Structure 1
Amino acid sequence: MSQTFLPPKWLQQLCDPYAVLGISVIANERQILKRYHTLAKLLHPDRHAKSCNPNPELATAIFSHLINPAYEQLKHQQKRLIAIAMLRSQSRDLEQKPLSSQSAIAQEIMEMSTPQAELFYEEAIACYAENQYKSLEQFYQVTQQISTLNLVYLRLHKPDLLLTQKTVSILPEVEVKPGELTSDEKIDVKPVLTNYAQRHYQRAIEYVRLAKWPLAVQELRDAIKLEPNNSDYYALLGLVHLRQKFIGMARVYIYQALKLNPQNSLALKYAPEVKIQSGENTNPKSMAKAMSIAALLSRFIHGKGSQVK
């Protein structure tokens, strides 16, 4: 393969600009811009010139002919709507195919419950995105998997949900009161933000107070990636799931918060609501279910599901 000329099948990936950037179809403008800046730094020619396997020409070609056009499509709302409409059309074609003829990852997601599918989709996108451009030669296969995830996700949506270009999910709507989680919640926050994880945590708290659950979830997951042993992040993520009536997932994260810090006040407050007893030391069934999803995702990421049928 020429380093400066991309194969036609690579350029065809532009039919899903979300997959090219490695983001979900519900990504907002801030997330789109953040991902674009990340890729701009990652594929800078100077960075590849200093690597063990220098390939700056290929990096430049990918950035110029794939990433830049994909970003141009997604940075404008009207173009995003067109992209979603085209992907939705592809998802309808996917729906006409028997499940047995679809990729392994599509089969697995379609057999999950709606909350499980939502969790798997978001985590899978994040994991694939992390690995998407580490090896430029593997970019095509990884991007195909992300595109498949996006199509399956759209297949699970009602037809009109994404047309408003709001942050939505395949989860059912939950009636909430925006002021419900304000003054009476004692959420520990450091007065001085000393790291990026705390910045994500701070934003998550604001989103919780506004009842913007998907945004709060995203910020808390980003915080956990940076500080995986901070019980406060798990406790608040558990509360977010609890407010959405996802008791199983709430129990998973509140349990993890207490495992990291048995004295976490927020986790202790809501432990009874998710039926976690004081001193409980066995994994709940929902934890086992979450672990099985994580194991499944790991299998796809590391190759067993890497080929799309």
Structure 2
Amino acid sequence: MSFEMTKGLFKYDFTDQHAILGIPLDAEFNDIRKRYMKIARRLHSDTCSFESQADKDWANQFLSKVVNPAYNKFSKESDRKEYSLLLAAIGKRVVKEQAKMQIESEAAKQLATAQNWEEAYKTAVSKLALKQYESVKETQEAINQISELNMVYLLRKERQGIPTQPPPPPTDDKRLKKTDPPTPTPTPTPTPIQVTQPRTDSPAEPYCRRAQGFMDSKSYAKAILELKEGVKRDPKYSKAHAMLAMCYVEQNQATMAKLEMNKAFASNPEEPTALEVKKKLEQASAKAKKGDDKPGFFASLFGGKKK
């Protein structure tokens, strides 16, 4: 069974847990828990009202492999903080790459131009959440649309407070004479394409060199300590964040790897080590999807199947 979502924030190698649960990005934990319980009752094998057995099997698999892991991200305060940091990094990346943004759903297009966009966002998410788990067909499409709303919301939120370019002063028509020739419009100078060059003058560079030596000997814990000191001295040095991400990949800490990878991309979308980390994470994710999840405590949430 394929549970792949490909739109909105999912395009940024990010699992949009809010979209999976059908909740806005600023939802409180109590609201998240209530929403999860409602979805769990809808999809659990003992209470699922889907008609066909195939749909019931899909619902049970989707609950264990997608919905439960999404809720787990919010069940512990430490995990919520970590997820919030990752989401903040994604928001900065969305702004940086907005020129390449593609919006497909009508709801997200309307949100992009809405005046009262915060209220419009919550209304749109709530509307999609109402029918999100009514059928197998609607579930993944609703998740993709909510994630597009989340993407536009992050873009508008990050841009809030940024001063816009002031309009040119109005032309004083009284000063113009009929005999005056029209002022020619100057030809705009094309903006050169900016090619990001790797930096070598960062105060974090010596730490990166020492960390590379530790990484070569597979002493990743020592490398992480060096790199953390390095990013303290230059928080926007993409190479240091990318190397941190690689260390976390080698230690099987995917969430921390994604966080550092996105920090690297925020400074340099073409950071080579970050691109390598992204490839490794995608490969690991593909392998994980092929395996079956072991039954967890969610199977006993409703008492399990009756004998």
TM-score w.r.t. the length of structure 1 is 0.44
TM-score w.r.t. the length of structure 2 is 0.44
Rg larger in structure: 2
